[in-house]
Amino acid sequence: AVKYEMLWKLSDIVNAVIGAGLVLERLEEHPDEYWDMFPNMPPNLNRKLPQTFSLLARKPGNKEAP
């Protein structure tokens, strides 16, 4: 199967959410790997880098997220 990947800057994603008129409630970064982006980096250093994130947004006027 063909696999396509895109490396988006976090600022591009956050600005797209804001530009869509959503209210950003929460943004967190995590050291969890999605793929082995740094294969030559020692694991103890690799765990110190944010590699994934969680983003919570809502439509304006909606009740705040729990």
DSSP 17-56: HHHTTPEEEEEEEE---SS-S-TTS-HHHHTTS--EEEEE
Considering the entire predicted model, what is its pTM? 0.68
pLDDT tens-digit map of 23-54: 999 999 888 777 777 788 888 887 777 788 89
Residue of 16, 17, 28 lying closest to 54 (CA atoms): 28
Q: How confident is the model at residue 64 (pLDDT cuts 50, 70, 90)?
A: low
Answer for the pair 55, 26: CB distance below 8 angstroms, yes or no: yes
One-letter amino acid at 51 equals Q
Query: Among all chains, which residue has been given the structure tokens 């729990």?
Result: 66
